[in-house]
């Protein structure tokens, strides 16, 4: 299933950048955003994941994120997450560099043990002050309406995720672009490659000469431009890749 020349290229890599998307989490039982029966098919994105929706009905949005946190808390990282931990260990032991850029907000990569993780869409675990941007976690102060507010400035707290119409966190995005530019192998895993600017990272890597390995059960907008497309779920393909590298 894994092309031999893709393994050869990985074996000689000094720098690997990986972009993961919802498909990786789906194998843990976290619903994906863009499947026909996924989350956004049942709820309006603009009501639940935009500043306008939050301003219009903050309690509904907070309830929704509380539900999503509960869903994520109840699942475990899967074989794909674990293989990415092993891939990071494999290349760092050879003095190479590894950057895991994820569009997922569920923290499953970190729970599995991945270390160098860039969350381009933020995460579900933290809250952020909508006024002073301070990150909050856990205990919260409530206002008269029972809504959580910032203990520093009194501004309303919101989930620390990137909503529709919002920019990606600047530092995280800059680091992601650097990793894509510096990579000799770029892996696009479990992502539909339709959400920009994250989808552009593979093209950035390719324009700098990186080989592109796509792991996704179906073809995507990126597939015509990749070096190798491995048509399998990440939980199946990634353990095979890591086992082959570790055996070499
Ligand atoms: Zn604040």
Per-residue pLDDT of the chain (248 residues; tens, 9 = 90+): 899 999 999 999 999 999 999 999 999 988 655 555 565 566 687 888 999 999 999 998 998 898 889 889 999 999 999 999 999 999 999 999 999 999 999 999 999 999 999 999 999 999 999 999 999 997 789 999 999 999 999 999 999 999 999 999 999 999 999 999 999 999 999 999 888 898 999 999 999 999 999 999 999 999 999 999 999 999 999 999 999 999 97
The encoded tokens of residue 201 equal: 């990272």
Q: Is 121 a catalytic residue?
A: yes
Q: Is the pTM of this model over 0.85?
A: yes
Q: What distance in angstroms lies between residue 116's CA and the mean position of ligand 1's atoms?
A: 28
Edge to edge, the sheet with strand 135-136 lists 135-136, 122-129, 157-161
Q: Peptide bond before 154: cis, by omega within 30 degrees of 0?
A: no
Q: Helix, strand or coil for residue 118? A: strand
Domains of the chain: 1-30+77-121+167-248 (3.40.50.1220)
99-158 pLDDT, tens digit per residue, is 999 999 999 999 999 999 999 999 999 999 999 999 999 778 999 999 999 999 999 999
Q: What distance in angstroms lies between residue 215's CA and the mean position of ligand 1's atoms?
A: 40
Q: Which of 121, 136, 203, 229 is catalytic?
A: 121
């Amino acid at each position: 299933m894994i092309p031999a020349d893709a393994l050869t290229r990985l074996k000689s890599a000094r720098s690997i950048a990986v972009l993961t998307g919802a498909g990786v989490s789906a194998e843990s039982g976290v619903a994906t955003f863009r499947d026909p029966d996924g989350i956004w098919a049942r709820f309006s994105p603009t009501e639940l994941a935009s500043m306008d929706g939050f301003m219009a009905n903050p309690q509904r949005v907070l309830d929704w994120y509380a539900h999503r946190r509960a869903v994520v808390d109840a699942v475990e990282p899967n074989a794909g997450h674990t293989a990415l931990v092993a891939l990071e260990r494999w290349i760092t032991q050879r003095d190479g560099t590894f950057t895991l850029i994820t569009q997922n907000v569920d923290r499953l990569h970190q729970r599995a043990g991945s270390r160098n993780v860039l969350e381009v869409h933020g995460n579900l675990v933290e809250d952020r002050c909508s006024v002073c941007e301070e990150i909050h976690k856990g205990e919260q102060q409530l206002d008269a309406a029972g809504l959580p507010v910032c203990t520093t400035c009194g501004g309303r707290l919101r989930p620390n995720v990137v909503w529709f119409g919002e920019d990606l966190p600047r530092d995280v995005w800059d680091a992601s672009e650097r990793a894509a530019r510096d990579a000799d192998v770029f892996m696009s895993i479990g992502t539909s490659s339709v959400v920009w600017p994250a989808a552009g990272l593979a093209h950035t890597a390719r324009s700098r000469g990186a080989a592109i390995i796509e792991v996704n059960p179906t073809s995507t907008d990126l597939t015509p431009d990749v070096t190798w497309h491995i048509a399998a779920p990440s939980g199946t393909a990634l353990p095979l890749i890591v086992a082959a590298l570790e055996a070499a």
